[in-house]
Chain A
Amino acid sequence: MAEAPDANVPSILSASRISKSFGEIPVLFSIDFDVRPGEVHAIIGENGAGKSTLIKILSGIEQPTSGSITYGGEKVVLPPNGEAAAMGIVVIHQELLLAEHLSVADSIFLGRELKSGPFLDLKAMRDQAKAILDTLHVSIDPDARINTLSVADKQMVEIAKAISRDARVIIMDEPTAVLSVAESRTLFEQVRRLTAKGVAVIFISHKLDEIMELADRVTVLRDGQLIATVGTENLTPDSIAQMMVGRELSNLYPPKREPDVDTEVVLSVRGLSAPGISDISFDLRRGEILGFAGLIGSGRTAVAEVIAGLSAKTGGEVTVNGEPADYSDVSKSVAAGLAYMTKDRKGRGLLLNAGLQPNLTLLTLKKHLKMGFLDGRSEAQALDRAVRRFDIRARDPSVQVGKLSGGNQQKLMLGKTMESDPEIVIMDEPTRGIDVGTKQQIYHIIAALAAEGKAIIVISSEMQEVIGLSHRVVVMRQGRMAGVLEGAEITEAEIMRYAAGIKQGGENERLSA
């Protein structure tokens, strides 16, 4: 293992032999991690590898089950609830935590307002906010409301907030996931400015090229284990990817069974436009798995929600089995045999306070009516079937769904979607935030559904998943289709080229391929 050039500087924040379990489920195994002043230390790993848990421990939000944290040379127990920010450890979350209606200056000083006597010293706060924003070389008006800013500007406000707190360690959780390439550049400049001042930056990202460019050292996590901490100069994107995945993909994904060329098209989309998307055209055949790849915010979910009748289109044609499909609400799309499984299982998919049974049957409650009344036995039978078919594990069916693990929630949501016995299934991020074992189960379920003759769209931000499952892949970029890939073209590099806008077009001749 090679060391970064500034190896002699003592680390500002370090974790030693950190383990963490939730209940009896271990999520981190004896992790060593440290970051030095002036360094960018990247943490990478697949979803569920334990990155977010490690960050939570490093910022005090979670306490480790065992192991210790050293900060500024002293062993510490970090205070919970983000109070570590006052000690100089600041997290910039992916979902920026800013109050939308406050002004920029208010936000920067939120919780530590400057006062003159009992009153807020608005002028001093505005002046200081302006001074901090100036040092960042950004032109954001300190009086602007947060909700008028772009995501990139909001991030700058978060960084300004961190600086105003004299942060010594800044943890950035996938800051570029929602930024354009140009905005990411500006962010990198800020990060370099911070490190030049001696701030330590912990940087989480899925984008290997960014990490190669920005980080001094890289720590790779996989399934809660520390795989390696390596200086970036000794790494290639390939070697990182290998460490991240660390297993044969063929184990994870079931073999692909190409649908016959002459199977009928069940879903046909032509020139579809809606707020956030324009000119989307593709066909979906029976038995086919069509992947939708692209960066977050590229419009993939918007396409799915328009097709499923959750939002209105502004132009174009959608046909299901040759019939025009302008669904005004979800009940119509479900009746037509098209089901959409949301990516937001906690906010839109499941009633977290209810048990398994009401959740499973909510979409198809009409099937469980006997003379107009709910038939509890029929519902219980449906749950029995789903539990067996999708291997849903709960200690008892009355347990609140919110208390299930993410994987079991996802499987329950899959069961709920499949209860409507759809011909066409659109799955949005079907394995987000679940462990790798459950992922594998879900991949096999998806492949089995396709083999049964269901037509399936899989929207995923995990490129490996799209590659491992799909017969064809639509790559979206900024609300448009950047390209359609099939067969041997479906590679990470090729998808990335389209998703990042390096390569474009080529979709038209492949529309009906």
Chain B
Amino acid sequence: MSVSVPDTASKPHKGFRLDLKTAGPLLALILLIILGYSLNPLFLGEGNVTNLLTRSAFIGIIAVGATFVITAGGIDLSVGSMAAFIAGMMIIIMNAAVDSMGASIWTVLLGIGCSLILGIGAGFINGFLTTKGKIEAFIVTLGTMGIYRSLITYFADGGTLSLNRGAREIYRPVYYDSFIGLPYPVWVFIIVALLGWVLMNRTAFGRYCMAIGSNEQVARYSAIKVDRVRTLTYILQGLCVSLATIIYVPRLGSASSATGVLWELEAIAAVIIGGTMLKGGYGRIGGTVIGALILTAIGNILNLTDIISNYLNGAVQGVIIVAAVYLQRGSFRTGRRAKKAE
């Protein structure tokens, strides 16, 4: 009879591995905070903490969406250009609205509404092309990435699109004002992360994303509408990009071809650092949030100290990404070795 063997050796081992995988990113963030504080106590000053959280909100919100796409076995490279494109369109639409009916709260709401529609639409296009068009997500989103980037360059005529001064005054508080001590962008980040966590861990949709990313055939044979779920992940991603753009535009009140450059890589990096597997099947929203905080904290620490030039920000981030993934894989490898020894 094939009774599975209770081997005592693997139990504590497994517990350890699980700890390392879920708590690893959090541990890294804590170490980073200690390091930052010891290098410059200003790091934990109130102003800097809110600044850090606000900065991480853009990447963090986008990364929550990316967690779904990646968990379901996809990838979206277009988010950075999509953000720039949506920001540009928002400014053009709001400026046109100011011209025709003057600056008011409605101008801003119109811009926000258009941003949501554009984000959802752009996500749907990515999703539709990958599922119904049966083109690899990498190719589709590489294509749309180029399209959005050149569209914003075209609309800005190679320069910068600036929001009408009147509208800017009305819109400004969305980025700069606070509610119970935390700036609005941080609240948006918190709400998006919480909703994302519930969606991933407590709904059928989240379970389906993991199933599809883990094995698409199993998902199909288990009565899951694979194309629909996949498309929804891209729509969700588009929605997250649009939310991030809505809180980004009032920061500078402008958009140019340099807006959102490399955001896609930072978002993917945040997801991976957080413990989600790039090949899909396993997604962790909490990890993604921590990943976004880690990435922002690195830049922030470099700004506050003179030890390493701020120009090396990308290099430090790169090292952290590779190290994070190596640690995760390393724990997998010990797991496999243990299995072989059985």
Are B2 and A330 closer than 8 Å at their CB atoms? no
Q: Which of A266-285 contact B (CB under 8 A)?
A: none
Are B204 and A365 closer than 8 Å at their CB atoms? yes
Docked Cα-Cα span, A143 to B217, in Å, equals 34
Q: What is the interface of chain A mostly: helix, strand, loop, or mixed?
A: mixed
Are B198 and A362 closer than 8 Å at their CB atoms? no
Are B282 and A353 closer than 8 Å at their CB atoms? yes
Are B7 and A25 closer than 8 Å at their CB atoms? no
Nearest CB of A to B57, in Å? 26
Nearest CB of B to A236, in Å? 33
Are A342 and B4 closer than 8 Å at their CB atoms? no
Write out the residue numbers on chain B whose beta carbons fall within 8 Å of the beta carbon of A365.
204, 207-208
Write out the residue numbers on chain A whose beta carbons fall within 8 Å of the beta carbon of B101.
none
Q: Which of B192-229 contact A (CB under 8 A)?
A: 198, 201-204, 207-208, 210-211, 214-215, 217-225
Of all chain A residues, the one with the shortest Cβ separation from B3 is A393
Are B7 and A23 closer than 8 Å at their CB atoms? yes
Judged by a CB distance under 8 angstroms, whether B132 is at the interface is no
Docked Cα-Cα span, A24 to B224, in Å, equals 37
Are A334 and B223 closer than 8 Å at their CB atoms? yes
Q: How large is the interface on B (under 10, 10 to 19, 20 to 34, 35 or more residues)?
A: 20 to 34
Contact with B along A425-437 (1 / 0, CB 8 A): 0000000001101
Write out the residue numbers on chain B whose beta carbons fall within 8 Å of the beta carbon of A399.
4
Are B221 and A349 closer than 8 Å at their CB atoms? yes
| Interface locus among A125-133, A164-172, A257-265, A401-409 | A401-409
Of all chain A residues, the one with the shortest Cβ separation from B342 is A23
Write out the residue numbers on chain B whose beta carbons fall within 8 Å of the beta carbon of A374.
201-204, 207
Are A353 and B2 closer than 8 Å at their CB atoms? no
Docked Cα-Cα span, A351 to B213, in Å, equals 10
Docked Cα-Cα span, A467 to B224, in Å, equals 35
Judged by a CB distance under 8 angstroms, whether A348 is at the interface is yes
Are A330 and B220 closer than 8 Å at their CB atoms? yes
Docked Cα-Cα span, A474 to B311, in Å, equals 73
Docked Cα-Cα span, A373 to B198, in Å, equals 8
Are B2 and A347 closer than 8 Å at their CB atoms? no
Of all chain B residues, the one with the shortest Cβ separation from A399 is B4
Are A395 and B6 closer than 8 Å at their CB atoms? yes
Docked Cα-Cα span, A395 to B8, in Å, equals 11
Nearest CB of B to A309, in Å? 9
Q: Which of B245-300 contact A (CB under 8 A)?
A: 281-282
Docked Cα-Cα span, A330 to B211, in Å, equals 15
Are A363 and B214 closer than 8 Å at their CB atoms? no
Are A330 and B221 closer than 8 Å at their CB atoms? yes
Write out the residue numbers on chain A whose beta carbons fall within 8 Å of the beta carbon of B208.
365
Nearest CB of B to A212, in Å? 33
Contact of B4 among A354, A369, A395 (CB under 8 A): A395
Contact of B1 among A348, A372, A373, A437 (CB under 8 A): A437
Nearest CB of A to B231, in Å? 15
Given contacts A362-B211, A405-B4, contact A330 B204 (CB under 8 A): no
Contact of A331 among B198, B203, B223, B281 (CB under 8 A): B223
Judged by a CB distance under 8 angstroms, whether B337 is at the interface is no
Judged by a CB distance under 8 angstroms, whether B105 is at the interface is no
Docked Cα-Cα span, A221 to B180, in Å, equals 75
Docked Cα-Cα span, A358 to B198, in Å, equals 17
Q: Which of B39-75 contact A (CB under 8 A)?
A: none
Q: Which of A74-114 contact B (CB under 8 A)?
A: none
Docked Cα-Cα span, A362 to B220, in Å, equals 11
Docked Cα-Cα span, A191 to B38, in Å, equals 75
Docked Cα-Cα span, A351 to B7, in Å, equals 23
Judged by a CB distance under 8 angstroms, whether B5 is at the interface is yes
Write out the residue numbers on chain A whose beta carbons fall within 8 Å of the beta carbon of B210.
351, 354, 358
Docked Cα-Cα span, A354 to B2, in Å, equals 20
Nearest CB of B to A137, in Å? 40
Write out the residue numbers on chain B whose beta carbons fall within 8 Å of the beta carbon of A330.
220-223
Contact of B225 among A329, A369, A404, A438 (CB under 8 A): A329
Docked Cα-Cα span, A349 to B202, in Å, equals 23
Nearest CB of A to B334, in Å? 15
Judged by a CB distance under 8 angstroms, whether A310 is at the interface is yes
Are A351 and B220 closer than 8 Å at their CB atoms? no
Docked Cα-Cα span, A394 to B6, in Å, equals 9
Write out the residue numbers on chain A whose beta carbons fall within 8 Å of the beta carbon of B281.
351, 353
Q: Which of A485-505 contact B (CB under 8 A)?
A: none
Contact of A405 among B2, B202, B203 (CB under 8 A): B2
Nearest CB of B to A383, in Å? 14
Judged by a CB distance under 8 angstroms, whether A366 is at the interface is yes
Q: Which of A198-238 contact B (CB under 8 A)?
A: none
Are A353 and B214 closer than 8 Å at their CB atoms? yes
Docked Cα-Cα span, A350 to B1, in Å, equals 22
Contact of B2 among A25, A333, A352, A369 (CB under 8 A): A25
Given contacts A354-B210, A437-B1, A437-B2, contact A363 B223 (CB under 8 A): yes
Instruction: Name 6 extra pairs, CB < 8 A, besides A348-B220, A373-B203.
Output: A329-B223, A358-B207, A365-B208, A374-B203, A393-B2, A435-B1
Query: What residues of chain A have their CB less than 8 Å away from a CB belonging to chain B?
Result: 22-25, 310, 329-331, 333-334, 340, 342, 344, 347-354, 358, 362-363, 365-366, 369, 372-374, 393-395, 399, 403-408, 416, 434-435, 437-438
**What are 15 A-B contacts with C-beta separation under 8 Å?**
A330-B221, A330-B223, A333-B223, A342-B221, A350-B218, A351-B215, A358-B211, A362-B207, A362-B211, A362-B224, A363-B222, A373-B198, A393-B2, A404-B4, A408-B4
By Cβ-Cβ distance, the 5 closest A-B pairs, closest first, are A405-B2, A330-B223, A331-B223, A23-B5, A362-B222
